[in-house]
């Protein structure tokens, strides 16, 4: 239209953002005042869940065991290849009522072998 500025936003995207418009400046977003997420974890977490996949690698890197970390990375790559070949369809979140649920949480028809921590 006329490219008229009606408001400005200022702040940190994941902390506090203020909006200034004709009525003045006020808080637009504040991470600290948000309600906690209502995302519920399924009873059985799929083997492809991020924290299950990456936790052993993080542990190995934290312990500075780089040889074991490389073995874990190689295993993750193999498991990802298995997922891609046996994929049933994409996983995604869908809102049902007040809650978000995961649709098609297991991407593999064949279970993925876990990684030992030794």
Digit-coded pLDDT (tens) for 43-101: 666 665 677 778 888 889 999 999 999 998 888 887 777 666 666 566 677 888 888 87
What is the SS3 assignment for 98?
Answer: coil
The secondary element (H helix, E strand) that includes residue 42 is none
- Per-residue pLDDT, 67: 94
Contact assessment for residue 61 and residue 67, using Cβ atoms and an 8 Å cutoff? no
Angle between helices 66-85 and 50-62 (to 10 degrees): 160
pTM for the whole thing?
0.35
Contact assessment for residue 100 and residue 71, using Cβ atoms and an 8 Å cutoff? no
Contact assessment for residue 92 and residue 104, using Cβ atoms and an 8 Å cutoff? yes
């Amino acid at each position: 239209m006329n490219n008229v500025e009606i408001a400005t936003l200022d702040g940190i995207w994941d902390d506090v953002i203020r909006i200034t418009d004709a009525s003045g400046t006020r808080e637009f977003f504040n991470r600290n005042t948000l309600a906690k997420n209502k995302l519920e974890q399924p009873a059985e977490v799929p083997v492809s869940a991020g924290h299950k996949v990456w936790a052993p690698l993080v542990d190995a890197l934290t312990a500075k065991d780089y040889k074991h970390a490389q073995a874990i990375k190689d295993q993750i790559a193999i498991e990802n290849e298995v997922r891609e070949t046996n994929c049933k369809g994409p996983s995604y979140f869908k809102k049902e009522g007040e809650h978000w649920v995961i649709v098609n949480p297991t991407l593999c028809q064949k279970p993925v072998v876990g990684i030992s921590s030794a």
